[in-house]
Structure 1
Amino acid sequence: MNRTLRPSDIAKQLGISTSSLRNYEARGIVPPAGRAPNGYRVYTYEHAAYFECIVAMSPGFGMEITSAVLSMLQRRELGAALWMINDAQAATHEDKLVLEKAVELLEQIVSDKGGNANWMTIGEMSAAASIPASTLRYWEDKGLISSTRNETNNYRLYDKFQAVKVWLLKSTQKTVYSGDTVRLKQSIGKLPSGDLQALQSLIELARNALLQRNREQLRGLHSLYRLCTVLTL
């Protein structure tokens, strides 16, 4: 178990560069490497397990959580690390519930229960979706959602079609940043008002992205368990 490994071998196995290994070490995500007589870094199987965990966990949990968890493991704070992972998985489940709300609203529009008339003020939408009004205004300024204005008080009004878009956008707030997330937001912004078929397609894209996040988190947990085994935690 104490056999040393070359950085190039670890990097090749994980499909990353040796500079990435050095960067992770410099950030304190993995323990410091030993040094050979010639000054070159030498890693152990423990280091390899840390690096594997970074590569496996970061797609599903993001680098911020991954870094925090691995730093806790170096301090042998397994309990705190597991609770942080638990919170991240709970957030994924919350996003599933958010998407279910979007589906429910879309079904109401399709079945014409209440139609798609102006439905909520910005304050009501903020309270219903647990999103700050400032975020709704920001999304509107960016062209992601739109509203009409109350003729009496000029308050913003959102119909159910826009409400579905709000819940869709909410489901992306806790996701790990990726090109897919950016493209989903762009598609939400470009969606023609009233195009229910296109809206349904975006919901399916969001569902698939959430399923992929779940899979990536499972893969990350597998590597985390292996690392904990190596560390005898």
Structure 2
Amino acid sequence: MGEAVSGSQQVPLRTADVAKESGYSVQQVRDLERLGVIPPASRSSNGYRSYTPLHVHALRAYRGLAGAVGPVTARQMLAELRTETITEAASAISTVHVRLAREREEALRAQQALRAIQAEANTPEFEQESDAMTITELARALDVRPSTLRFWEQEGLVTPDRVTSLRARRYDLSAIRAARIVAALRSTGYGIPAVREIMGSLHQLEGLGEIRRILQQRLDQIAMRTVALLRAGADLAAVVTAAQEPTTT
């Protein structure tokens, strides 16, 4: 699989050919064409669709992108990649890699926070004070808005160490660690009630085990999304470079 799309020659392909090479069904190929994932196929004199190897590359690229960022974002990205300069397109793809790396880093930080919470009783008070953060600093570290942290506080998920008379919030190490775990749980798709329940059991053995399992699952999912993006690499490159070639009639 893949030989039919190698090279730059424009070999006319039927819908069935494209389906076979891309791994989609004939109906899925038509649906994805309708959604703009691939450019409209040309029509022969008898009305049949006529595709090129580039359509196969685009469909394969979509599969990987959809696995990495979701189908809606993948559709939007592919449409943009076909019109952008090679510099813009390369930057857009690099941004996805950076996003996945950041998500992985945050999940790892949440794991570190969980381990630290288990040993929190041994944390010196001066360390907690010296490592305190303002709401702006913590929001920046978690890549969320300050209003999100206020909402989490309102919902009883993360509580500042203190709030001054000027309503300035300070988060100690314990609160920072809790915030990292909440952020990881929310990124995994857990709703507020579920997060509240999990955080409520944080200092219980079963609670620690459940959070540990969730965070590992999160890391595994990020790894799978990263692999999907890597598999799409050559096909994305074909889509990007084709956009730089002059169109012929």
Assess same fold via TM > 0.5: yes
Q: How does 1:130-169 map to 2 (within 5 A)?
A: 130-139=143-152, 145=157, 147=159, 163-169=176-182
Identity %: 23
Question: Does the CA-based 8 Å contact 1:184-1:202 persist in structure 2?
Answer: no
Larger radius of gyration between Structure 1 and Structure 2: 2
Q: Distance in 2 between matches of 1:26 and 1:40?
A: 15
Instruction: Flag structure 1 segments of 5+ consecutive residues without an equivalent.
Output: 176-180
Residue 225 (structure 1) shift: 2.9
Q: Output the amino acid matched with 2:123.
A: K
Question: Does the CA-based 8 Å contact 2:33-2:40 persist in structure 1?
Answer: yes
| Aligned residue number for residue 54 of structure 1 | 62
Change (3 A) 1:113 1:87: same
Question: Does the CA-based 8 Å contact 1:147-1:156 persist in structure 2?
Answer: no
| Aligned residue number for residue 111 of structure 2 | 103
Deviation sequence 1:62-119 (CA, Å, 0-9, x none): 345533443344336221111011112112222233233323323332223158x9x8
Q: Distance in 2 between matches of 1:155 and 1:20?
A: 54
Greater Cα offset, 3-12 or 207-216: 3-12
Q: How does 1:171-210 map to 2 (within 5 A)?
A: 171=184, 181-182=188-189, 188-191=195-198, 192-194=201-203, 195-210=207-222
Change (3 A) 1:61 1:131: closer
Question: Does the CA-based 8 Å contact 1:60-1:220 persist in structure 2?
Answer: no
Greater Cα offset, 79-88 or 151-160: 151-160
Q: Output the amino acid matched with 2:149.
A: L
Question: Does the CA-based 8 Å contact 2:110-2:177 persist in structure 1?
Answer: yes
| Aligned residue number for residue 178 of structure 1 | none
Matched residues, number: 225
1:218 to 204, 207, 230: 230
The question of 1:34 aligning with 2:42 is answered yes
SS in 2 for 1:182: coil
Change (3 A) 1:162 1:210: farther
Residue 232 (structure 1) shift: 7.7
Q: Output the amino acid matched with 1:38.
A: N
Residue 164 (structure 1) shift: 3.8
Q: Distance in 2 between matches of 1:83 and 1:170?
A: 27
The question of 1:74 aligning with 2:82 is answered yes
Q: Distance in 1 between matches of 2:21 and 2:181?
A: 37
Instruction: Flag structure 2 segments of 5+ consecutive residues without an equivalent.
Output: 1-8
Deviation sequence 1:171-223 (CA, Å, 0-9, x none): 577x7xxxxx4369886454123233332222222222222222122112232
Question: Does the CA-based 8 Å contact 1:3-1:45 persist in structure 2?
Answer: yes
TM-score by length of 2: 0.67
Q: Distance in 2 between matches of 1:8 and 1:185?
A: 46
Q: Distance in 2 between matches of 1:19 and 1:43?
A: 15
Change (3 A) 1:220 1:190: farther
Question: Does the CA-based 8 Å contact 2:117-2:177 persist in structure 1?
Answer: no
The question of 1:129 aligning with 2:142 is answered yes
Residue 231 (structure 1) shift: 6.6
Q: Output the amino acid matched with 1:220.
A: A
| Aligned residue number for residue 7 of structure 1 | 15
Question: Does the CA-based 8 Å contact 2:38-2:59 persist in structure 1?
Answer: yes
Q: Distance in 2 between matches of 1:121 and 1:40?
A: 63
| Aligned residue number for residue 30 of structure 2 | 22
Q: Output the amino acid matched with 1:145.
A: L
Greater Cα offset, 105-114 or 212-221: 105-114
C-alpha RMSD of the superposition? 4.0
